[in-house]
Structure 1
């Protein structure tokens, strides 16, 4: 994929080497994400990888800089309802502040929704802030109901 400034971007699944390409720093632009040691990263990467298609993290790498400039994840919930259906849950979408406006967020959402569809999900859902609502509507999502949360501190 070519960006508007001639940059080449690749959308792909997360790899072990992505920690050194700024993956954790990118997540820090989204929310609280303390430093993660190489061992912690390797352990969590192995844990997620062992889930196969049930938990996929995708990234966009800028081939020119070698940096990860966007990411998102989808995990698959297996249900009894809807004939033992599956639902994709999209989480942790972030595009680097310096790479916004290049349609990378749409590429991430497309990658994740295509994955959910390919593994048989009947729907894909996500939570977002009011500020991001218009973006997700452009990606084909619509508001339904409300979100509730309870944090364990």
Structure 2
């Protein structure tokens, strides 16, 4: 009986190289110095937090947002037009889209946006609105959602907002409470007929203690 010869194992081909792009090579939508230094220090070393860049359409930004809602692919030109509109509308501050990028793949793994609104009440005060928080399934469990929230709240308070608000679904209330938020008010939504979006089903509201108001039951999964 002839002896068998172990097959020769060939080395696996290397993964495609994705060199990390430094901030100095990017056109960022706002000054990175607005990000709290404590958030930067607490981020795991394999990740980098920064403002959104004009070329982030190539780093999986839209694909990541698709976990929240319908997010069709955009060409670089379409992405540029949206970014330019944000820059114009927020020329004196107003749009603060923030991302966390993997240093290994140069792809976005977490994102969120702060919108700053000027009010007539509160002596013309500012309010920060947090929107579109999303974390890639490949990076969950590493507190990246928490770091995005902390960064956006830091920007909000650093730019003079007297409060920061957001909407979330019931499953995420406990998470946001750990971030320092409290239940308040209800969210209402009306979609334009031309949007093609069916009117959402009524939310299941959560009982709260007497004398307090409840919260909404929508948005922001996958933290």
Contact 2:43–2:147 under 8 Å retained in 1: no
Aligned to 1:18: 56
Aligned residues: 150
CA distance in 2, matches of 1:98, 1:38: 25
Q: Deviations over 1:23-49 (max 9, x none)?
A: 111001121111112111001111112
Deviations 1:63-122 (A, max 9, x none): 111110000001111001111100000000000011111000011001111111111100
Question: 5+ unaligned residues in a row in structure 2: which ranges?
Answer: 1-41, 194-223
**What's 1:59 paired with?**
99
1:135 shift after superposition: 1.0
CA, structure 1 residues 73+2, in 2 after alignment: closer, same or farther (shift >3 Å)? closer
Deviating runs (4+, > 6 A) in structure 1? Answer: none
How far 1:2 moved relative to its partner?
5.1
Structure with higher Rg: it is: 2
2-structure distance, mates of 1:140, 1:67: 29
Gaps of 5+ in 1: none
Scaled by the length of structure 1, the TM-score of the pair is 0.94
Look up the match of 2:186.
146
Rounded to whole Å, the distance in 2 between the matches of 1:103 and 1:95 is 10
Query: Which structure 2 residues correspond to residues 1-153 of structure 1 after superposition, within 5 A?
Result: 3=44, 8-50=46-88, 51-52=90-91, 53-153=93-193
Bigger mean CA deviation after superposition, 45-54 or 21-30 = 45-54
As a proportion of its length, which structure holds more strand? 1
Which has the larger displacement, 48-57 or 110-119? 48-57
In structure 2, distance between residues paired with 1:49 and 1:56: 10
Task: Specify which structure has the higher proportion of helix.
Answer: 1
Report the Cα distance in structure 2 between the residues aligned to 1:129 and 1:23, rounded to whole angstroms.
Answer: 22
TM-score normalized by structure 2? 0.65
